[in-house]
Structure 1
């Protein structure tokens, strides 16, 4: 049924037209066939025009009106006409169809009107709701505008108050806006920049870089970079500029920029770079470098200095395995075990490994020390370590071991007996020569006190052990008698000194034969003493032409010639060529002085000459010369006294050799050896003095301590000690400190000339800081 009404709703206008057509057709048909039937015409005409009113009524009134009209029409036809049945049926059919159509049309119109009413009502409600929403939107818009205005004011205030500088640029780089904070950054007000070019703000060195970066930006993109700017004072400052390209119109855009002052950060970065450079330089000097291995990230970082140790370029950051490949294969398990122990047992480690440098393959020794790094839960997250190149130390240790081996070989091959004792004088080592000297095996000597050796009792009583002197740094030398296991007595010269590690070293030399020779020589000296005391010097008198006019008979004992033979000899037959040349030169000089009337008339000259003896050997004589004069003081001859100084020359040669030996020992001695005269001036300084003071040894000569700039209190101490030795002639020992916990043991010994007079003092200074520290621990 509903589908019918829906169909009827679509065609009601066509049905209404059809009803009018049917009614009108009936009227026309009646007029044509029954012109005299005016009542029929009037009824149908009434029905035709009644339809206009029926369709304007509601459905029920229209339905009732339709039946009433139908009833009136049929009543009128029945009562007032004599119409036949066929016509009656035709008129009823037309009237009934028209009325049904009119009623149905009224019904549809009513439904349509109702729908329109409700639709209008809904539209009215929707309209009222829309009006309300519009009002709400207007209120929200008004509120939004207020909030936007407040936010803009707040943003403006924020922009003006923040330290960062906001500014905008157009496409040509002209500044269109600048926040007030720029005055804190550059010292210029914001209005000084507005309308100016960007070059007024950015340093020329960075301007082209910034503009190039800006031109690469697309709409909405961001870039960030660090640039230098120019301040009002002309100084350079650093800012980090963030830029966003913002489109304003189809053809126009602007750059929105935010500049943050990073001058302090840049300065800190430079300081950090300098610190890192200093650290790298210190690492390089110390031949060390740090590294870190992060376990979870499996990331390895190494300082440049540490990479250089392995022959890897400093600008690289290799993987951990690449660095580990430089370790010698035999040492890799050691390194791996140390690393695993640090991870599992959470303990630091220190190992020494060998590596082959990656760039040149050189073998180096590396000391690697590392410790684990923990998170807040105590879990190992990384290993941090330091590597140090100890190749030179290793080489020194190996050289020391080799030196000790050579020293041991020398000790074993030495003819003298050598004994090493502990600080308590317990024998801890001896060589083979010492066992032969005592006639005992090593097991019978080692572990005993030195006093337990088979010394002759009287010998120890005469020369007891002076460990106090040895502890003071002196080398103590004594002659003692030991008893061989066979019962034979042997005289030994025993020299004992303390080594740097506190142990004692004693050298035993068999001097039995030497003592016997010395005794024999002493006896011979006694026999020939009388003869030696009666020996006289040779006196010679020459004329001014150097001809001998007299020579004493002692010439025979000196040169083997008789006086007559000596007078007959020419000077070139007696005097060696080099000595003759010096003699002739001296003679010529003296004669020239006499001719000029210069010089002391009583002067005495001395010259040493090498002369030939009759026995074919040469001797050295000291010739003392004086000019003989007549009554008026004119020179008439020369008198000379010749003394045999061959032994003296030999002693000088030996002394020179001894001095050379002393110099060699002093030059290589670790102790500081100095010589002084009575005015406290240095006569000699060995290289050890230069090592301690930094003053070249040659700069010491002829200068006092004061002139060399030593502290006044030390100068007084040293000069008082030197003065006392010169006055008393007795050795002296002084201990003093030079600061920085350095203690010195200073020995002062007098030096005497052949006449027994003190001509100088010799000093020896030794560093006893370790001894002091050992005896007086803090």
Structure 2
């Protein structure tokens, strides 16, 4: 450090000043000699001392103040004359003995100690300071010392801030659900949080300074832990290990190295989590799998599992006996390996497997079917196949139980031959059977079902004439033999023993039994059916009444997607009268193609699968509909009509969208918070915040800036990368001294704003000619309590800004303010350290020059 030389002045009063300093000396000659020495030394030291911004003084071994600079005069409040008449004990009363002892040590050990003392000002104020004491050479025959005074308030504030940060970090660590430990190279525990006691039963203080071997843990566990810790020290990389503690507790440990200034691993941080429940669940799963495998292997029927591509994944011993393939040969091969080629070509049968492979659903699932299997030796065998499916996560796992039914098929064939006569009679049977002589109308035979319906035994019925007994027709007016009517599935009446009329569905077939012309009458009781028809009619009327008054949209469609019924609420949904739908499809009514395609596909699926179908879709005007499509069956079990019940779920969709948005915003803010902690400068922080703000609000432009704490100007580093790219003029400024327009209104009033019509906003001052056009605008100030520290501003989103966007920007501004505050504090700490470094360098250079 170089100082400009000051011209020597001839001042006749210098000797007088020197004489005042040594007024207490007894020997005049000695005094004059000292004056000469002091005058020579004074010229060397006076200039740098007087012009130093650091308070300094010069004092003798007996603590008398010999000289002071302007800064110490300002700090103490005393005049120079007053200070030169005092000793150090007068301004440092509590520290006189400390300073005296320290000076002795300087003389003996030649060290430069630092003393923490309290300076008492003239007004009685006490200022905590540090004094760096050095011995001055060539100042005179006696020892003379220089004291450099440093105000320690700033250091105290920094230490306090660091202490607060350490306290917050410690609170976070000690309340964590995870175990957190620190180890040195000797595997000694330097720190462990209280969570350790919950898992190990050992208080955290018992770990400090100890190795795991000293805690009574098993040798295997200790060795594993040591190896893992040493590995992190050697490789300087993260590691992970699972450990089993005493009492059966399992933990998942993540080891991270902490480096010193040289880049060496100083210690290892371990974060461990209790995974005992997970381990127990895995063990139960293994036990369940072993138990299941044991049951499958002991099963007498073949058990086969396949994946979604119909590849065989399980093959039990019974399957090996049945088909001749061992497990090693068959695993991974297609299920079609055990299906004959002739079966593969039958499209209707193969369709079941294709449908399952594509959709996970099939007509063969949860059903038992009979088909042919193909053995390894080429022999075809009849089998009975039962397929069930279980879902594990995202995957379906079909399992088939296969039984050889060769013997059963032989028995069924034999039974068919023995029952040929019975099958001829009962092949036309619906329910009750009565055999009547065509000429005499005598009842020759009756089955049990018919007897039960009539209400008497077969024996009492046979031999009677059918007229007026079981048939209401009079003698000579038989509908069949006398009137030549054809009775085929006709609704007739049967008389029971009490004369009650029973509605029946009747079929009469002429047959010849042992050369005798007879009538075979078969019929079913329609009593319940008639009741059901009446109930159905009543239900239909009730349904129409309910549906007409329902708040849900109810519709019925045929196979051609035509509307058969639409309740009145449809007019409220989409503004079209219900009668305008009848007999028409959505396509014919001009609905959007995508909606028509979705709707027709949903109806076709119900007709095809005979199962309910559930869909959600959006109508014109932003109305969301939740629709349940249900099949209505005819007598044959085929789907006749699809009934649809639909409900307006627009509000629910809005809530779901809002919730999804909030979750995504919270995730983005959490990610941003983590990233802000790792940024190196306020500029980098500003860029990061701007990118997140633009992405989350879908904004095209924006800027993020901070307030310079010294000048109060707005510093906008982000204009260098983002906003300026679109400006027509180059070299636009990034520092703003005055705040104006919409963005200036935010800073001046410390209030957030948003507008979707900036040109007509009264707060706007217009857009400069060389500026991009602003279509919409949102901005929020970054505040620390009531102090303005920065601003986030965005423009030209692809949508109108809303209160939701403003809330998001305000949340980002809060994070930005915290990041700025942290960075400014760290910058202040760095500045303080640099200031002290320069003071020491200056002092050392001064000493070196001397």
Does the pair score TM above 0.5? no
Compare CA radii of gyration and give the structure with the larger one. 1
TM-score (norm 2): 0.36
Query: Please, what TM-score do these two structures have when normalized by structure 1?
Result: 0.39
